[in-house]
Structure 1
Amino acid sequence: MNKAVEQGNPQNTELSFSDEEVKRWTPSRRDFLRILGAGASVAAFSPLTAFANNGGPGAGSLRSQLVQDERFWESVNRMFILNPNKTFMNIGTAGSMPKLTLDLFDEENRERAKESLSGYSNLLTQRTRVAPGFGVDPDELAFSANTSSGMCHAILGLDWKAGDVVVTTNHEHPGGDTPLAIAVARYGIEVSRIALPVGNNQTAETYADLFTQRISQLRASGKRVRAMMWSSPTYKTGTMLPLVELMNVAKANELISICDGAHLPGMMALNYANLGMDFMSGAGHKWQCGPGSTGILVIRNKIRASNPLPLPKWFPIHTSSFPTAAQSGVRTATSTFDVGSVVTSCGSLHTPMFNALVKACDIWDEIGRKKIETYDLTLSAYLKERITERWGVTRLYSPKDDPRLVSALTSFNPFHNPADVLDSAKSTAFVTRMLNDYPKGFVIRNVNVPVIGSERDHYVIRISTHLWHSVSDVDRLVDAMWDLSKKMA
């Protein structure tokens, strides 16, 4: 049992794992190397980097390794009350709370009603429990309403000046694009968008070069570039815009760094203090499987070696706490004030909701965030290899061979006639029929993708692989999609 979890919530912390199952757990880093067959020379930041430019193993090897841990993940699956008549593979839109989280949510809502409780709090105790799982201190972690809320906090709290330029991409979510548009209208900033490539023929260096070149071009023309904003991963293709490489670009150019990390909490095991980004806004209700209307917002509040740049001037925009130290917008290297508290505090909070999010985070910490990341990404790698076998690698809109770019989201063109990817109605029909025409119908989604060289968006299918899925789920999905693609030809 994780001692931090045990001490943080002494009641009802036991998960539904037998002693035998727990004994079968192996260190997640070793798991990943075993599953993907890496050598010993793995970069310290992420085991994924060992595979840069080398490609990965085939579907058969991935499958044989995944099934070795099948009993453990079956036990994890039993933690959820998912409808057994459906196969839920759209976690990128919405997750599902585990039973223990649901129980706590229900109990606390009833207690709140019974005792007519208020929620005036900065949730320091809860933030203290959650922060270590994200590699930051409690003052650097805030609870927000969702990713979009966190992006508004990040972008609209900065002291923009007319003419400031934000370099971003054409694959951003409205959660980030909307506060940018507000800043354009209100402060007169400018937005410069980089057209992103799609598919497997790209590397992490591709993105670093794209941002570097755009920043250089803008500055050469006299523009005042102030910030970078990007999504990791993008919600359209699941491409993990490379955090380390883009942070190197931001630091080299002395820019504010803003990451739409909607899909990061619960999918990826990242240390945000080591990454050094100024803002990361993630969802609590997606891969982290907390309640709706919850989010994780990380705000850099200390100067560390990972990012020696001064903390950007920033003001809270949605709060009932405005300490004197915050009123200049300036933060010192030694954390002038608890920025996480200022963001979290906003009137009477619905504390059962955030306590349920904390419970979900406890469960992830107990299983092991790296172990979950390993499983999610390996299932995704297996899915991409199966798609490549049936449709060919050119059908992928998500990269698979540079591990710095992979996530547990997979987007591809499933149509027998490749040109049908331009047909929005046909793409929507594909999603509907995958749910209705097959046993244990598949809940997936489609998404529009701007593609370089195409006058029209492509409407691709997007699939999420998470901790309640199995190899057989992926096999059934691929067989069903192949069958449907022939029927819709």
Structure 2
Amino acid sequence: MSRHTRTRSGVSRRGFVGFLGAGAASVGIGTVGAAPAAHAAAPGATAATLPAPSSPGYWREVERLFMLDKDILFMNVGTVGSPPREVVETVDRVHREVAAGAISAYSDFPDVRAVAARGYGCDPDELVISHNTSDGMSKILAGLALEEGDEILTTNHEHSGGNVPMAVARDRHGVVIKRVALPVGNRQRAEDYVELFRRAITSRTKALVFSAPTYKTGTMLPIAMLAKLAQDHGLISVVDGAHIPGMMAYDFHELGVDFLAGSAAKWQCGPGGTGILYIRNKVLARYNPNPLPEFWPVVSSGYPAEGGVPPRSDGPTESYDIASDLQTVGNSSLAVMAGVRHVCEVWDRIGRQRIQDHVLGLSAYLKELIVERWGVDSLYSPKDDPRLVCALTSFAPFRDPRDVHDGQKTATLVARLKDEHGIVIRTSDFPVIGSARSHQAVRVSTHLFHQKEDVERVVDAVWELSGDMG
């Protein structure tokens, strides 16, 4: 219960006034700079106090921030995350205040974008809170000035969130899609992947589009190295980074990419239906000296109806807030945006580098245990080149090599793992060079609410089932 006086409608006076801001016509979280009640944690959601990071029980206390079912060991964050309890409380509180006050949300939410941008190493004019990764990828690819005969160089391990808008560009504009076949497993170095892309570039190549990490195998393609390759050839770089927000402590400027779309509801554990969209909006010679690509905000109610916008910047200061145009899409959700802001603040409170170190450490431990039981060739995720690792781990769970083609058997193992052991992971299938059929694997996600004993538990259970299933 808020300590502020409540109105008869149940809405905090301070919160209600905060929502109204400068006037009902411009209401939105982003319009209110001095009304914390309209924002993430205050009032109504108590931010949990954590012990010192050096405390032996630190990650157990972090785990207690979440309201996951204790009877289930959920290790499928790569599909969906779980918001912390205080974020759920914030979203619920704001939903109720909006309903009671019939409050609209016509805004570009600059304060939410500012908090998120701070955590992702970019500026608010470059960051949009999208609906999800697919939404971001569609907006990027539809907004690029690609023409008939232009080539997009991509991979054979892309998600439909990227494949579909590329297909639309092909079928609508005559764009050519060219794919690099990715090797899998632990025998590659970052340079090997860069060389595969380099060899495939032609005079018609206009954009590199790739997932990092690949969602099927958990291979973190070397983003900065591929971005530099794109820069050297005057190409646009587009990253399907669905799993980056909340997992990796990347500085988006330092990556040097032109565009990156990610999820805010997977590893970042924000409200469902939220994503992160980064659009490079200035020329920073240290990271990417190339001119900004031509880009149109194709989904917007904020783009000027007359007069257009200034030319894009050719220096370190933006010429206009392009993210604002994409963020302004009619009436939005104050509650969802409050939840995104709050969850970003939770991550910043814990420390993004600390989170990355924890989740990658658990993933490294998982891979070592897999190698002990199944051997290194069972891994589809790299483990020895630190530039290629992430917190997604895919491996072949059966002891008979022929079972890598048996999708039904793999699906049965995953179902039994949940039913008999209370553990949730997922299946994964993907093309493998030299194989006529896709390989079938299981994929495990290690996140900040997991411990070493959770990793040991899932390995023991999969080993037991794989033996039982022959």
TM-score w.r.t. structure 2 length? 0.89
Q: Is the 8 A contact 2:40 2:338 kept in 1?
A: no
Q: SS of 1:463's equivalent?
A: strand
Q: Does 1:469 align with 2:455?
A: no
Q: SS of 2:103's equivalent?
A: coil
Which deviations, in whole Å up to 9, do the C-alpha atoms of 1:290-317 show, x marking residues without a partner? 0111001010000002101110001111
Aligned twin of 1:357? 340
Offset at 1:323? Answer: 2.7
Offset at 1:244? Answer: 1.6
Q: SS of 1:251's equivalent?
A: helix
Structure 2 segments unaligned to the other structure (5+ residues): 1-34
CA distance in structure 1 between the partners assigned to 2:307 and 2:275 by the alignment: 22
Which deviations, in whole Å up to 9, do the C-alpha atoms of 1:93-133 show, x marking residues without a partner? 00001011000000000001000111111011111121111
Q: Is the 8 A contact 1:313 1:330 kept in 2?
A: no
Q: C-alpha root-mean-square deviation of aligned residues, in Å?
A: 1.7
Offset at 1:17? Answer: 2.8
Which deviations, in whole Å up to 9, do the C-alpha atoms of 1:167-198 show, x marking residues without a partner? 00000000000000000011110011000000
Aligned twin of 1:59? none
1:266 to 246, 256, 259: 246
CA distance in structure 2 between the partners assigned to 1:244 and 1:82 by the alignment: 35
Q: SS of 2:464's equivalent?
A: helix
2:42 to 11, 22, 42: 11
Aligned twin of 2:80? 94
1:233 to 196, 203, 213: 213
Q: Does 1:366 align with 2:346?
A: no
Which deviations, in whole Å up to 9, do the C-alpha atoms of 1:318-342 show, x marking residues without a partner? 1111137994795122322211111
Q: SS of 2:57's equivalent?
A: helix
CA distance in structure 2 between the partners assigned to 1:17 and 1:118 by the alignment: 33
Letter in 1 for 2:452: V
Aligned twin of 1:301? 281
Q: Does 1:323 align with 2:315?
A: no
Offset at 1:251? Answer: 0.8
CA distance in structure 2 between the partners assigned to 1:239 and 1:180 by the alignment: 21
| Structure-to-structure mapping, 1:24-423, within 5 angstroms | 25=53, 70-215=56-201, 218-219=202-203, 224-305=204-285, 306-323=287-304, 327=308, 330-333=311-314, 334-423=317-406
Offset at 1:358? Answer: 1.1
Offset at 1:437? Answer: 1.2
Q: Is the 8 A contact 2:87 2:339 kept in 1?
A: yes
Q: Is the 8 A contact 1:165 1:227 kept in 2?
A: yes
Aligned twin of 1:447? 428
Aligned twin of 1:55? none
Offset at 1:156? Answer: 0.6
Say if 1:82 and 1:283 are closer, same or farther in 2 by CA, change over 3 A. Answer: same
Q: Is the 8 A contact 1:163 1:188 kept in 2?
A: yes
Report how many aligned residue pairs link the two structures: 430
Letter in 1 for 2:449: W
Letter in 2 for 1:16: A
Q: Is the 8 A contact 1:237 1:398 kept in 2?
A: yes
CA distance in structure 2 between the partners assigned to 1:148 and 1:399 by the alignment: 26
CA distance in structure 2 between the partners assigned to 1:447 and 1:330 by the alignment: 44
Q: Is the 8 A contact 1:16 1:75 kept in 2?
A: no
Q: SS of 1:404's equivalent?
A: helix
Q: SS of 1:483's equivalent?
A: helix
Say if 1:9 and 1:457 are closer, same or farther in 2 by CA, change over 3 A. Answer: closer
Aligned twin of 1:41? none
Kindly indicate whether structure 1 or structure 2 has the higher relative contact order, using CA contacts under 8 Å at least 6 residues apart. Answer: 1
Offset at 1:367? Answer: 0.4
CA distance in structure 2 between the partners assigned to 1:283 and 1:118 by the alignment: 25
Q: Is the 8 A contact 1:313 1:329 kept in 2?
A: no
Identity of aligned residues (%): 47
Say if 1:330 and 1:211 are closer, same or farther in 2 by CA, change over 3 A. Answer: farther
Say if 1:431 and 1:116 are closer, same or farther in 2 by CA, change over 3 A. Answer: same
Letter in 2 for 1:11: A
Q: Is the 8 A contact 1:315 1:327 kept in 2?
A: no
Which deviations, in whole Å up to 9, do the C-alpha atoms of 1:351-384 show, x marking residues without a partner? 2112101111100001000000000000000000
CA distance in structure 1 between the partners assigned to 2:173 and 2:445 by the alignment: 38
Q: Is the 8 A contact 1:315 1:326 kept in 2?
A: no
Letter in 1 for 2:68: L
CA distance in structure 1 between the partners assigned to 2:40 and 2:185 by the alignment: 44
Q: Is the 8 A contact 1:266 1:288 kept in 2?
A: yes
